Amino acid sequence: MGVTTGNARPFWGNGHYYVFTKESASWDDGKSRSNVYLDKLDTYGYLATVTSADENNFIVNYSYNGSNIPNSGFLGGTDW
């Protein structure tokens, strides 16, 4: 599966693209898998850092091919 631009959706509040990828992984693996170059967007991916309720709602409701995410996922924050 992996991160692709084909299933990335832009959030109207900040212009950033989001994608929920349904894979089994540790947080470290998820972070590594998200740090890929996305040609069509001319940028690198990363785990999301949520800064507002609107952004959180968008991620939950639209980041999985335009649908609700099917389960929990990883974000960029850590308690290290």
User: pLDDT tens digits for 28-63?
Assistant: 988 888 888 777 778 888 888 999 999 999 999 988
DSSP for 3-34 reads --GGG-EE-TTT--EE--------HHHHHHHH
**Separation in Å, CA 78 to CA 47, 48, 49, 58:** 11, 12, 10, 21
Question: 69: buried, middle or exposed (CB in 10 Å: 19+, 13-18, 0-12)?
Answer: middle
pLDDT for residue 5 is more than 80? no
Element (H, E) at 43: strand 43-44
Question: 7: buried, middle or exposed (CB in 10 Å: 19+, 13-18, 0-12)?
Answer: middle
Q: Which pLDDT belongs to residue 55?
A: 93
